[in-house]
Structure 1
C-alpha cells in the first residue's frame, strides 16, 4: 500500500494538503493551510525536507517558509521576505541552501541565503535583468541549477540568463543562452548537459547543448511544436506551453523521457482536455514526440512526479472544474492512466510530494 501526502499551491490564500492512496485510488483533501495570497508556486527545501517555500504571486511579491508536519499539513508561516518586485511565479531551493524567486512582472528577482537550517530568510541579493530582444520587456519565469550556475528563462527577452557566483558566493549575471526570436522561453530542464526548454509563445520545445560560459549561443538540436496535430487547427484555440519535466530513468522506467504540458488558453476547447506531450530524448540530444496524453484538465500550469520510481504524476488545470488528478505511468512510461481525482478545489498550479 502506498499512501503519500501532496501539497498544492494556487491562486488562493492557502496551501492545500492531500492524502493519496494508490491502492484505494483515492485523493482526499485533509487541510487548507493558511498562507499569504496566491501561493502559486511551492518548493521543498533540499537541505531540510521539513521546510516548504511558497511565493506570493502578487504585485508586492514575497516568499514564505513553512514547516511540513509528518501528516502532510503545514505550520503557519515561519519567515517571509520580499522578492523586490511584481508577480514572482516560481521559487527554487538550491542544494547549496539558497532560495531564489524571479518576478515575472518586474524583470528582476532575488537570491536569498537561508538561516536556521533553511527555515529563516537571511541576506537577499537583488538581480535585475537587462531588456533584450524586440519585446521591450523582461519576464524572468523560473530558476534551475546546473553545477554552480543558476539558469533563468526570460520569456520576454527570448533568452536564458546565466547567474554565476563570485568567490564570496554572491550571484550576478555572467552570460546568457539566446533562444529563438519570439519563442518566449518559460521553463527548462537539463539532462546530460542538454538544455531542454519549453517556449510559451510558440508552444515549442527545443534541445541544445549548454555552451561554455562566455559563449552566448548554442545550435538547436531539436525545435518541435508540442501542440497535438488534431488540435492545431481547432477553431478558437490558442496554445501556450507551460511545464517541462525530465524524471531520472530508473529500473522500472529506464528510458529518458521528457514531459511537456500544453495549455489551450483560447475559446475553442477540446472535450479531452489539454495534453501532456511525451518525448524521447536520444543520446545525441534529439527530441521526438512519442505520445500525446489528454488529461481532461484545462490549462495545466504545473505538474509533478512522485511516489516509488516516480510512478505517479499529479496535475491540475487553472480553469475549469477538473480539480486535482493523479495519473500513473504505465508501459515504458509513455502512457498514463488516471487513478485518483479530487474536485474540492477546482484549480491549482503547483505541487510537492511529501
Structure 2
C-alpha cells in the first residue's frame, strides 16, 4: 500500500515521496517550493490531509504555513499562514484537541501558541497575541558554554496522556521544561515544572515520552548521550530523577572528533513480550562508515530499563543524519534523512533493530524532517 512522505529541508523546497510498502521502493513524486529553510514538518493530529511547515528567512518575519495535501501524488496547497511570534522557529506541534499549534524558537528563547480552527486546522489569527508568547526563564550555568548563554528551546513534545502538558527541551538552559497551556485563545502559559539533573554542557536537544507517560528519554546534542528520567505527574511531590545516561557514540569514535546528536525516536513494541525500540542519530562522523543510528531496547514491563541492542549501531543512513521518523502508523518502517549525503533511507523494524530496505538520493537535497500520509485518504474531504 503506498504511503506519501513529506520531507522538510534546509532549502526552499518540500519533497513529496511515495513509499510502496509491498515493493519496498521510494519514488520522488513532486517538489513544492515553499520558503527558505522549511526544515520542520508536522501533521495535524486528526485531519488526514493537513500538514504544517515554516520559514526561517533572516530578513523576513518567520512564518508558519498550513498546507493541504490534495492527492496521493503529493500535490500541496498553502491554505493559511501566521507569523510565528519569535525568531528562529525550529519545531512545532499541534495540540491533541486541535485548538492550537505550539512553536519553539531557538534564537528568541520563546514558545508561542497559535490558535487553530478545530474543524479546518487553519490559523485563526495572523500572529500571536502577547499572552500567547512565553519567554523562557534562564539561570546562568557554571560551564558557560557558548551555546548555553541563553535559553534555546529546540523541540515541542506533547505528553501522551495529558492534553495540556508540553515538554520543551532547552539546549541553552540544560533542562527540559514542563509547560501547560491553560484556556483557549485567551489563555495563558504556565511554567509547571522542569526535568533537570543533566550534566554540565550536555545540551538537551530532542525528547521522547514513554506511552505510559512515566519516563522521559532525552537526546543531548553536545554530549551525544541518551538521558533517561523518571517522570512523575506534575501534581506529585516526587521530582523527576536521572535513571541512566548512556553514550550514543560508536565504539570506534575518534576521541578528538565532535558528533552532534540530532534525533530520537521511540517505537512501541509490536507484541506484549517484545521490547520497545529507542533510536538515536549521530551527525558528522569522520569515520568511513559515516553516521550511525544507535539502537536501544526498552523493557516491555518497565520503561526505565534501557539497554543497548545486540547490534548497537546501524550504519548506512548517510552523513549528517538530521531527521528520523516512523512511517505507516504500525511501527514497521523508519525513515532516516542524511542532510549532507544519503538522502532518504527506509529501514524495516525488527524485534531488536532496523534493516535498510530502500534508498532515494537523487532529487532529495538537504532533507531534515519527515511526516507520512496514507495516499488513499488524500483528496477525499
- Could you say whether these structures have the same fold, taking a TM-score greater than 0.5 normalized by the shorter chain as the test? yes
- Deviation, structure 1 residue 212: 4.0
CA contact (8 A) 2:49 2:68 kept: yes
Whether 1:142 and 2:155 are equivalent positions in the alignment is: yes
Whether 1:109 and 2:122 are equivalent positions in the alignment is: no
Distance 1:253 1:306 in 2: 22
Secondary structure in structure 1 of the residue aligned to 2:87: coil
Residue deviations 1:173-210 (CA, integer Å, cap 9, x gap)? 22222241211001111113101100001111011111
- Deviation, structure 1 residue 309: 2.8
- Deviation, structure 1 residue 224: 0.8
In structure 2, runs of 5+ residues without a counterpart are: 142-147, 374-381
- Deviation, structure 1 residue 259: 0.7
- Deviation, structure 1 residue 38: 1.3
Who is 1:130 aligned against?
137
Alignment equivalent of 1:272, drawn from 289, 303, 312: 289
Who is 2:144 aligned against?
none
Residue deviations 1:66-97 (CA, integer Å, cap 9, x gap)? 00123142433211111222211112122111
Secondary structure in structure 1 of the residue aligned to 2:77: coil
CA contact (8 A) 2:178 2:194 kept: yes
- Deviation, structure 1 residue 350: 0.3
TM-score (norm 1): 0.91
Whether 1:93 and 2:88 are equivalent positions in the alignment is: no
Are the structure 2 counterparts of residues 352 and 53 from structure 1 closer, same or farther at C-alpha, using a change threshold of 3 Å? Answer: same
Distance 2:272 2:33 in 1: 38
- Higher mean C-alpha displacement, 188-197 vs 75-84: 75-84
Whether 1:352 and 2:371 are equivalent positions in the alignment is: yes
Who is 1:165 aligned against?
181
Which one has more relative contact order, counting CA pairs under 8 Å at least 6 apart?
A: 2
CA contact (8 A) 1:196 1:208 kept: yes
Q: Which runs of 4+ in 1 moved over 4 A?
A: 214-217
Are the structure 2 counterparts of residues 253 and 294 from structure 1 closer, same or farther at C-alpha, using a change threshold of 3 Å? Answer: farther
- Deviation, structure 1 residue 211: 3.5
Are the structure 2 counterparts of residues 244 and 114 from structure 1 closer, same or farther at C-alpha, using a change threshold of 3 Å? Answer: same
Distance 1:74 1:344 in 2: 17
TM-score (norm 2): 0.85
Are the structure 2 counterparts of residues 284 and 49 from structure 1 closer, same or farther at C-alpha, using a change threshold of 3 Å? Answer: closer
Who is 2:336 aligned against?
315
- Deviation, structure 1 residue 216: 8.9
- Equivalent residues in 2 for 1:144-223 (5 A)? 144-146=157-159, 147=162, 148-167=164-183, 169-180=187-198, 181-191=200-210, 192=212, 193-213=214-234, 217-223=239-245
In structure 1, runs of 5+ residues without a counterpart are: none
Distance 1:204 1:21 in 2: 34
Question: RMSD of the TM alignment (CA)?
Answer: 2.1
